[in-house]
Chain A
Amino acid sequence: MNERVQPVYLEEKLEEIRADGHLEYRSKSLPTWCPGCGYFSMVEGLTTALKRLEIDSKDTVVVSGIGCASRFPFFVNTYGFHTLHGRVLPVATGVKIGNDALTVVAVGGDGDAFAIGGGHIPHAARRNVNLTYLVFDNGIYGLTKGQTSPTSALGFKTSSTPYENRDAPLHPLMMLLSYGASWVGQAYAGRQHHLADMITQAVSHQGFSFLRVLSPCVTFDKTNNTYANLNTTVRDLPDDHDNSNLMAAMNQASRDDHPALGLYYKEDRETLEQVMKATASRSVKTGTGRADKQ
């Protein structure tokens, strides 16, 4: 960066950031991620989205599991719950049921989501819990220093696959579509404005929204999901993509070699909270048994 341009650029940028107002959603703790990590754009994306939607930070809970991505709650100025490895969705479901006036955002990485936490995703999706699940997918375990993950590419050499990864990677978008998620989208950490737009849409969706964010790990992946590679392989969903058509969404989701960004699928369906309210009013009408009738 040359000296002539720098001061002007910073001043302008800072002014723009302050004027935007989303800084109030940032906590005083600076992110602890490696410089260049794709996750920085996620903090920017979520804070921008919350500001746009005018959701009060006191009414927001960011829930996470374990991993690099799961440190996220500490870097935003909302209520947060940094929980256990793989358990972000059941905890987030409990938070939403405990107080459904809250906006609940679950975050985590690909290992937290698809390895240890894989069993919980179908159930949060099919119940249509009204929360947003952001998965920061970098295809590697970063916090434990570079082991293979369920979305690691075939042939990837990591510290746990020194002779190449031979386990076929999962297709997260196809999984979520078949699980019955009512909002499925994909974004890329290298396209920050689009990412903020997608997070905004996901958070405003009534029901379970799943956003996969392709994100490079600059420290432990020099070969696969790098900015250089992703910049050339990602594409936009075709203009004529019908996001109410599940099969069309499946078709697009199957092409992981050229991942498409955008909203794959969206449907309006009764949320878990609505189901519970309906059950409550039905139970009052039909009457109940007695507590001692055991």
Chain B
Amino acid sequence: MIKSNDTDIQIAICGSAGDGTIASGDIMKRAAAAMGFNVIAFDVYPPEIRGFGKCISRIRISSKQTYSLKQESDVLVSLNDSHAIPHAAEVRDFGVVIYDDNLVARVAEGGHISAHIDAAQIPYGFSIRQISEQATNSSRSRNVVILGCLAGLFDLSAENFHDIIAKKFATKAQSVIDDNTKAFDAGLKAGRTVFRLDDIKVRAGKIKSNGAEAVMMTGNGAVVRGFLESEIESYFGYPITPATSIMERLAVEMPPRGGKFLQTEDEISAIAATIGAAYTGSRAATATSGPGLALMAEMIGLGVMAEVPSVVVVSQRGGPSTGLPTKTEQSDLNLAVFGGSGDAQRIVLAPTNVEGCYRCAGMAFDIAEIYQTPVILLIDLYLSNRYETVVPADAGTYTPKPRPQINLEGGENYKRFEMTKNHISPRALPGQPGLMYTATGLEHNEQGRPNDDAHMDMSIKRHEKLKGAVHYPGLNVSKRFGDKGKVDVGILGWGSTFGEILETMYQAQAEGISCSAMKVVMLSPLPLQSIEDFFDDCREVLIPELNYEGQFAGLVCGALGRPVTRLSRATGSPMVVREILDEVRRLSGREPAPVQAVGAMGARS
């Protein structure tokens, strides 16, 4: 919980594509992380590269552990008033709005943000453009001037900003670093000289102790780091938002480590080559989004059938079809868990935060190799692109486990798909003498020869072998938070939404509601026992998720046959804490049921 003397401010920087909004937010969050704060940051940007689309960078800076962005920002910085005006309302009472009060052009009535600031909000006008021009002879440094203003206003360490600016532009000319530093310093001077209210304060004394060790990364960056630490050997990818940055980062990081990286001609070939490389024993992965996963479904089925390990990262975005390429959604659960032909159970892991992305990616290859099946890492745009501070694991934590050796006399007796006690068979790799076999997508017998009669036995083998996965050591396949024992309301969640769920739960507890929350990280196979235990303890179970159909609720209901209340939202934006909280209050009996237009899918099922 955030106490009143803790630091917990959220800054929203809003501008037009090309204003440097995202870059500004980037420096801000890096500087805050360098100061030792917990940082959660998420950018919203349009699908177009240029043009006049709206960009918002939101950064939550906190001295305590937080789980999601706040619904209300403490500070709004406008680099473009027409985009920022609708966001004035997201600033809390006694929050700050920073804008340019010295415009060079006349604006129409109502076109300036100062006309939209609430009486309870505190306006800070700076001559942002003028300061930039005076410092660097260019208005292009406005995005750095405002950082100076923020640092001055909140007494943030200029040293950290100078350092991050130098690092960010390290590959550019020295003059770029100099100009940005000058712009920052000019903003800093302006920020320090204005009258300050005491309400918003960043208390430097509250820096968390392990701040120096924590690294700030995105969900995608965390996946990359997990892959590298678990010694990924081959990667095949095809560009698609929001998974592309995984590919771009691995393209840089893998070759010097001797890894093989290839941009393929489509998603089908990306997964095909991944499975081809994995067949030879290489630690192989690919990453995509929903549309790419749809194309990969058939090949994932081959991986299940031929028992070839592989890792597929899926960062969901709004769908169906091309959908909302730059907006978040959790609507590929069904495709990830069930996609493809036939009974093709695979392992699906859905981490709930950036740290989880790192840990799941670090363990994914071992899990895939042990269970000899595809592992899907199901994340979403909100997780892929948001920044959080993460404490890295000890060196060697994700070093590959040694492969079990096959001790067989030789070819005559070798059965690639041998029925064993744990249903996992000895896997030969090409190059090993005497163990030649043909892997196939056809149903096959223990030797791997096509055989329809083996279908029932082999179906049992392929499903039973995964059952142990829910006990995989070191992996929290599910975890309960909040009140223990019997509670009135239990919130069950998965993926990126769980941050908002936790925030909600703590607020509900603060209101005196008996409440508990559980995250489910392994979506296939489901950890049914712990979910069932959770249902037994909760009078009401609420499942909030970012899709229209309530896919996770459907999965759980189908597996347990127990009633849940769905809170399914397809808005392209992260879940709103207030909305979950209202539902929790209603279910707890605290308030009369509000009338909500949630549609047929939102009804109790």
Which A residues are closer than 8 A to B by beta carbons?
A: 29, 56-59, 61-63, 73-74, 77-84, 87, 89-99, 101-102, 119-120, 122-123, 272, 276, 279-280, 282-284, 287-289, 291-294
Contact = CB atoms under 8 A, between A and B. Distances in A.
Contacts of B278: 94, 98
B47 interface: no
A118 to B, nearest CB: 11
Given A82-B442, A291-B225, A294-B220, A87 B269 contact: yes
A93 B273 contact: yes
Contact of A57 (B215, B252, B436): B436
A288 B252 contact: yes
Contacts of A91: 272-273, 275-276, 279
A101 B158 CA distance: 55
B262 A97 contact: yes
Interface residues of B, number: 60
Given A58-B431, A81-B306, A98 B281 contact: yes
Given A276-B260, A280-B258, A79 B430 contact: yes
Contacts of B438: 62, 73-74, 79-82
Contacts of A79: 430, 436-438
Nearest to B439: A81
A63 B281 contact: no
A81 B252 contact: no
B418 interface: no
B563 interface: no
B433 A58 contact: yes
Given A82-B441, A93-B273, A289 B264 contact: no
A291 B256 contact: no
Contacts of A283: 252, 255-256
A84 B252 contact: no
Q: What 3 A-B pairs come out closest when comparing CB atoms?
A: A94-B276, A294-B221, A80-B438
Contacts, number: 173
Nearest to A57: B436
B265 A120 contact: yes
Contacts of A289: 252-253
B134 to A, nearest CB: 32
A123 B265 contact: yes
Contacts of B264: 90, 123
A81 B279 contact: yes
Given A59-B431, A288-B252, 13 more contacts: A57-B436, A58-B435, A59-B430, A63-B276, A73-B440, A80-B440, A87-B272, A87-B299, A92-B276, A94-B272, A95-B276, A102-B431, A292-B225
A290 to B, nearest CB: 9
19 contacts: A58-B430, A58-B431, A58-B434, A62-B438, A63-B276, A81-B279, A83-B441, A90-B264, A90-B268, A91-B273, A93-B262, A94-B276, A97-B277, A99-B282, A272-B262, A276-B262, A279-B255, A284-B256, A291-B221
Contacts of B216: 292
Nearest to B246: A294
B280 A102 contact: yes
A95 B225 contact: no
A90 B272 contact: yes
Nearest to A96: B276
Given A97-B260, A99-B280, A294 B245 contact: yes
A63 B302 CA distance: 14
Nearest to B265: A123
Given A91-B273, A120-B265, A291 B441 contact: no
Contacts of A90: 264-265, 268-270, 272-273, 276
Interface in B264-295: 264-266, 268-270, 272-282, 284
B333 to A, nearest CB: 24
Contacts of B279: 61, 81, 91, 94-95, 98
B346 to A, nearest CB: 16
B534 interface: no
B430 A291 contact: no
Contacts of A77: 436
Contact of B436 (A78, A279, A294): A78
Contacts of A73: 438, 440
Contact of B282 (A57, A62, A97, A276): A97
A59 B276 CA distance: 15
Nearest to B215: A292
A291 B280 contact: no
Interface string B501-525: 0000000000000000000000000
B188 interface: no
Contact of B272 (A82, A84, A276, A293): A84
A119 B255 contact: no
A284 B429 CA distance: 30
Contacts of B437: 79-80
Contacts of B450: 74
B224 interface: yes
B256 A98 contact: no
Contacts of A87: 268-269, 272, 299
A101 B265 CA distance: 24
Given A58-B434, A81-B306, A294-B220, A98 B277 contact: yes
A111 to B, nearest CB: 16
Interface string B43-67: 0000000000000000000000000
Nearest to A100: B260
A144 B62 CA distance: 64
A80 B276 CA distance: 11
Contacts of A123: 264-265, 269
A292 to B, nearest CB: 5
Select the residue from A73, A91, A293, A294 with max chain B CB neighbours within 10 A.
A294
Interface in B175-234: 215-218, 220-221, 224-225, 228, 233-234
B298 interface: yes
Contacts of B284: 94, 98
Contacts of B116: none
A291 B276 contact: no
A79 B427 CA distance: 12
Select the residue from A120, A287, A288, A292 with max chain B CB neighbours within 10 A.
A292
B258 to A, nearest CB: 6
Contact of A119 (B234, B265, B277): B265
Contacts of B261: 276
A294 B256 contact: no
B5 interface: no
Nearest to A92: B276
A291 B253 contact: yes
Contacts of A99: 280-282, 429-431
A94 B221 contact: no
A272 B262 CA distance: 10
A95 B280 contact: yes
B552 to A, nearest CB: 28
Nearest to A87: B272
A182 B435 CA distance: 33
Nearest to A59: B431
Contacts of A56: 433
B40 to A, nearest CB: 15
Contacts of A83: 272, 275-276, 302, 441
Interface in B554-594: none
B214 to A, nearest CB: 10
A29 B449 contact: yes
B432 interface: yes
B236 interface: yes
Given A82-B441, A95-B280, A292-B216, A102 B260 contact: no
B455 interface: no
A125 B450 CA distance: 31
A94 B216 CA distance: 33
Nearest to A102: B430
Nearest to A29: B449
A93 B282 CA distance: 13
